[in-house]
Each structure stands twice: as C-alpha cells, then as structure tokens.
C-alpha cells in the first residue's frame, strides 16, 4: 500500500495505528525536505548518539500519511477512537502539552469568562491557571483535612451540595480522582448531584489512569458518567513524559473541545509522544488487569514492611470514612514521616543524596514513592532498608514540625483579575494582609499555598518560610528565591 492511500484497517485494541504509520514511513526511505531540521539525526550526530537513531527517525513532521494532531482524519483519528474505546469514553484526544493542557481544556470548554466553577482548593496549579486564562470564577469547596497526617482529603458530598445550592448558576464542578496522596471523593454521588443541577462534571485524573484497567481500584470518571476527564498517561500508564489524554462523554461537543485544545496546544505535535500514547493504550487495554494486580501487590508488600518500622506510617484503605475519604488507591505508596521527627522533604533529600533512591515527592509530613510494573522486589526492599536506616540515623523530636499541609484561603479577587492587576513587589515578611498577584507552591505536587486573588496571612508566610527551611522546591513567583512576592497594588 502506498503511503498516501486510504486506510481500511478494522480497528481492535491490538492495533497501533500511529506506530504502524511511522514504521511504514521509515520503510519507504522518504527523503525529508521538511522539518525537523536534524533530518533523521544526520544533522545532529551528538543528539542521535545520545537518543538513538530509531528515536530521531521517528521524530517527524505532520504530513498526509501521518495525519495532523490539530485536525486528525486518519491514523491519529484511529488512535483517538481506540483510546476512547479503551477508556469507555465518547471520544479521546491525544495531548502533547501534558495533563496541564487537558485540565485547562476542560475548564475552558465548560466555562466562559465570568462563569462559575466549583472545585476543591487543593487542585493542581493548572486548574487555577485555567481560571486566569479563561476568566472563569472559582467557588472553592474546602477539602477535609486529616490532622494526624497533615494532608488535605477529598470533598464531602454535603459540602458540594451546599456549594451548588449557594451557586446554582455554576456551570461545572471539578473533582480530583485521586489526590496526589491516593484519596478519592465519592465520585458517583457528586457526579449525580451535579447532573441533577445541570452542571458538567470535570475530573482531574492525572494520578488515576490505572483506575480504568483494574477492578480492584476506585471508580473512574467515565465509569460513573462524568463529562470530561484528564488522564496523565505518562504517570501510571507508561507513555512518555508530557503525553496525556483528554476524555469526553455525554453531550460535550467533540468539535468545540478540539477548538479549545487548539487554542493552546502546539501545532507541531510530537510523533514520539503520540506513538507512546498509542502503544501504551494497547498495553493497558490488553494487559491492564494483570499489570495493576502486580503493582497493587508490590505496593501492599512495601506498605506492610514499612509499617514494621516505628516512626513511619504507610497508610491505605483504613483511612476510608465514607465521605472525604470515600476510597483509596492501593497502588499508591504514601508514607507519613513526621512521627520520627523528619519532614517528608527531608526524607526525600536523604534518600536521593545518600542512598541514590529517587522518590516522587516529599512534603512537610509525607513522602510518595511511585510504584509501577517496571519496579522490582529488590528495589522495594532497598527502599525499605534505606528508610529503616534513615530512622536509626536521623530520628529526632517531632514536636517542632509543622502539623498540616492545607490552609483555608480567603478569596478577595478572581485569579484573572489579580494576576493581571497593577502590582507591586513586597518582601515576603511584609506582605501579610495584602492580596497575592502570583502563586507560591511546592512542586511537586503543585498545589498552591497561595494563589492570585487570595489574602496573604501570617500563617501562609510562616508556612512558606517553613517549607523553604525544610528544602521544599518553591515555584510560582517572579523572584526565584521567593524572598519577595507580587501583590495587587492598593488604590492611592
């Protein structure tokens, strides 16, 4: 078949249309007089040696035989249809700007400037960035807080219902499924409640890709009838970093959603990222149950071993309370560290610097080790042994540690209004009482400590200083040292 002939492939989950088209392109030995300029790596031999010839041969430009991400009609379209089938969605979009772009597309599809969206305050920064871009207005539902662990939980159904009753004109509700720590809200009940009030349900499933492929895991967005979901396929799904899916369902318009995506997504879609989505989708669709059976088993084994070490607490389904912790993702290895006198970020740094173990993140009281099918029992045992030795070498009095992660915000202005307002720079210690014009957050997980439009308080300042002292990586401010902060300029 010539490369420009129409495809008549009968699709099944065994198909990998983008990969197959790239292989056909390579076999045809096409002479490239288009971009990218490295020309299959010949123009940049050092890069080719570093990444490999196969990688650069597949780093190609959009063309008729390979379709176009902005307006797919052939192989990319087929990959979208296969992904929709695998995830149980009406349609799936391949995204190469990360799940950040998926979250922003959800918010911007659901809400126009001045319209309201209900969301938990412990959202990823991408959701609040979407408010800055779109001009939509947040109605925050403060999540529950586990004071022992110092972490935000999910949204209570009654709290969501009250927010809906107080703001019946809201267009949508955004739900985390799960949180970074593995905690799930009552997704089914909140979805049904929102739909009764004609609101769209948007679900940030950056950390929930695996929910679609294993029956031991919490409910997924599409399974409960949600309208849109953002999927970080590169996290637990195995694709390349920065590759994601956006799923839509029910009456959400495919055409309009694509127009919204194309407002911010690159016109030069990476075929490395797209093919990795295609290949990973096939793998999960065919083998997801067994893959995540193994991951859950490994996570539980590691939890049990860590919980034999006094001073650590690797938590799981025992946190379930039927509301703000409606379910828990057992594949997550979240570990509380404060009882042995170390902040999570301190344990994170020691593991990396002294034991050559890189975990996902550490905050002021917890660490998260991301476990996947690529891990080995030997590696898990090495982690457990390192944690035991860290406890023996570094344990100290926990009484002086900060005791919680989440501070209820005071909303003064919309994020867009505050971000674009006339501003002034103040030393952080002098900013109490002023309205923030920028973010301050620890990354990861990327949940803002303070966001544009929120009042800066002494508690917030003290928390930021504490995070800096403990070695957290703070981002969001113009000042890279986070010694100063932009605030909304007050009227003379």
Q: Please give the full DSSP string across 311-360, using - where no structure is assigned.
A: T-EE--GGG--SSTTSEE-TTEEEEE-GGGT--HHHHHHHHHHHH----S
**Is residue 440 classed as helix, strand or coil in its secondary structure?**
strand
Residue given tokens 């196969």 in the structure block: 54
What are the DSSP calls for 224-290, one per residue?
GT-SEEEE-HHHHS---TT-EEEEE-TT--HHHHHHHHHHHS-SS--HHHHHHHHHHHHHHHHHHHH
**With contact defined as beta carbons under 8 Å apart, do 272 and 59 qualify?**
yes
Read off the tokens for 272. 């490395």
Domain ranges of the chain: 64-284, 288-400, 415-488
Architecture, CATH, for domain 415-488: Alpha-Beta Complex (3.90)
With 0-12 / 13-18 / 19 or more C-beta atoms within 10 angstroms meaning exposed / middle / buried, residue 165 is: exposed
Average pLDDT, 10 consecutive residues per value, the chain (492 residues): 50 95 91 90 94 93 94 97 98 97 98 97 92 96 89 95 98 97 97 98 97 98 98 95 98 98 95 98 97 96 97 97 97 95 94 97 93 90 98 89 77 95 96 96 86 95 91 92 96 76
C-alpha to C-alpha distance for 382 and 380, rounded to whole angstroms = 5
Torsion sign, CA atoms 88, 94, 100, 104: negative
Architecture, CATH, for domain 288-400: Alpha-Beta Complex (3.90)
Residue given tokens 């509700």 in the structure block: 173
Instruction: Estimate the share of the chain in helix, then strand, then coil, as percent rounded to the nearest 5.
Output: 40, 15, 40
**With contact defined as beta carbons under 8 Å apart, do 176 and 204 qualify?**
yes
Read off the tokens for 433. 């009482």
Buried b (16+ CB within 10 A) or exposed e, 179-208: bbbbbbbbbeebbebbbeeebbbbbbbbbb
pLDDT for residue 416: 96
For 270, list phi and psi in degrees, rounded to 5: -80, 125
C-alpha to C-alpha distance for 179 and 130, rounded to whole angstroms = 19
**With contact defined as beta carbons under 8 Å apart, do 369 and 335 qualify?**
yes
Instruction: State the pTM of this model.
Output: 0.94
Buried b (16+ CB within 10 A) or exposed e, 386-422: bbbebbeeeeeebeebbebbbbebebbbbbbbbbebe
> Considering only CA atoms, which of 167, 201, 171 is closest in space to residue 186?
201
C-alpha to C-alpha distance for 28 and 268, rounded to whole angstroms = 22
Read off the tokens for 268. 């030069």
Matching CATH number, 64-284, of 3.40.640.10, 3.30.930.10, 3.30.499.10, 3.40.1120.10: 3.40.640.10
**With contact defined as beta carbons under 8 Å apart, do 489 and 440 qualify?**
no
DSSP lists the bridge partners of residue 138 as: 117
C-alpha to C-alpha distance for 124 and 439, rounded to whole angstroms = 12
> Considering only CA atoms, which of 356, 351, 346, 348 is closest in space to residue 395?
346
What's the DSSP call for residue 216? T
- Judge if 64-284 and 415-488 fold alike in CATH terms: no
**With contact defined as beta carbons under 8 Å apart, do 331 and 299 qualify?**
yes
C-alpha to C-alpha distance for 304 and 173, rounded to whole angstroms = 36
Read off the tokens for 15. 């198909």
C-alpha to C-alpha distance for 274 and 77, rounded to whole angstroms = 11
Buried b (16+ CB within 10 A) or exposed e, 428-457: beebeebbbbbbbbbbbbbbbbbbbbbbbb
The pairing of strands 116-120 and 172-176 is parallel
Helix or strand run (H / E) with residue 486: strand 484-488
Residues sharing a CB contact under 8 Å with residue 321, sequence separation 6 or more, in sequence order? none
- The CA-based angle 173-177-182, given to 5 degrees, is 145
**With contact defined as beta carbons under 8 Å apart, do 366 and 334 qualify?**
yes
Q: What is the CA radius of gyration of the chain?
A: 23
């Amino acid at each position: 078949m010539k490369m420009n002939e129409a495809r008549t492939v009968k699709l099944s989950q065994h198909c990998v249309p983008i990969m197959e088209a790239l292989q056909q392109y390579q076999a045809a030995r096409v002479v490239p007089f288009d971009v990218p300029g490295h020309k299959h790596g010949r123009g940049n031999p050092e890069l080719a040696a570093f990444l490999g010839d196969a990688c650069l041969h597949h780093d190609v430009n959009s063309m008729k035989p390979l379709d176009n991400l902005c307006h797919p009609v052939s192989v990319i379209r087929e990959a979208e249809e296969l992904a929709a089938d695998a995830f149980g969605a009406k349609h799936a979009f391949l995204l190469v700007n990360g799940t950040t772009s998926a979250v922003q597309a959800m918010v911007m599809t659901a809400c126009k400037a001045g319209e309201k969206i209900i969301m938990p305050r412990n959202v990823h920064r991408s959701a609040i960035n979407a408010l800055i871009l779109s001009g939509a207005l947040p109605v925050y539902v403060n999540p529950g807080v586990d004071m022992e662990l110092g972490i935000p939980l999910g949204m209570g159904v009654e709290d969501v219902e009250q927010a809906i009753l107080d703001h019946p004109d809201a267009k949508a509700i955004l739900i985390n499924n799960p949180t970074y720590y593995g905690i799930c809200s009552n997704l089914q009940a909140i979805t049904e409640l929102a739909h009764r009030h004609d609101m769209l349900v948007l679900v940030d499933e950056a950390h929930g890709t695996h929910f679609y492929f294993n029956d031991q895991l919490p409910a997924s967005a599409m399974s409960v009838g949600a309208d849109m979901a953002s999927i970080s396929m590169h996290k637990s799904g195995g694709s390349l970093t920065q590759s994601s899916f956006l799923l839509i369902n029910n009456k959400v318009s495919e055409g309009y959603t694509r127009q919204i995506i194309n407002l911010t997504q690159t016109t030069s879609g990476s075929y490395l990222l797209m093919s990795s989505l295609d290949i990973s989708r096939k793998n999960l669709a065919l083998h997801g149950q067994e893959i995540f059976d193994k991951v859950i088993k490994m996570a539980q084994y590691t939890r049990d071993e860590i919980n034999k070490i006094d001073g650590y607490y690797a938590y799981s389904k025992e946190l379930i309370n039927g509301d703000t912790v409606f379910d828990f993702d057992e594949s997550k290895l979240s570990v509380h560290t404060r009882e042995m006198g170390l902040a999570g970020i301190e344990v994170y740094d020691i593991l990396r610097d002294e034991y050559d173990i890189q975990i996902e993140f550490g905050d002021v009281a917890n660490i998260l080790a991301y476990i996947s099918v690529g891990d080995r029992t030997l590696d898990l045992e090495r982690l457990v042994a390192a944690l035991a030795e860290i406890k023996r070498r570094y344990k100290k009095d926990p009484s002086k540690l900060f005791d919680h992660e989440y501070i209820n915000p005071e909303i003064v202005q919309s994020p867009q209004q505050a971000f674009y307002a006339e501003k002034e720079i103040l030393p952080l210690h002098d900013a109490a009482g002023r309205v923030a014009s920028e973010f301050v957050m620890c990354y990861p997980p990327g949940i803002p400590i303070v966001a544009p439009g929120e009042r800066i308080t002494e508690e917030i300042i003290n928390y930021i200083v504490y995070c800096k002292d403990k070695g957290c990586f703070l981002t969001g401010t113009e000042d890279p040292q986070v010694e100063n902060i932009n605030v909304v300029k007050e009227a003379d």
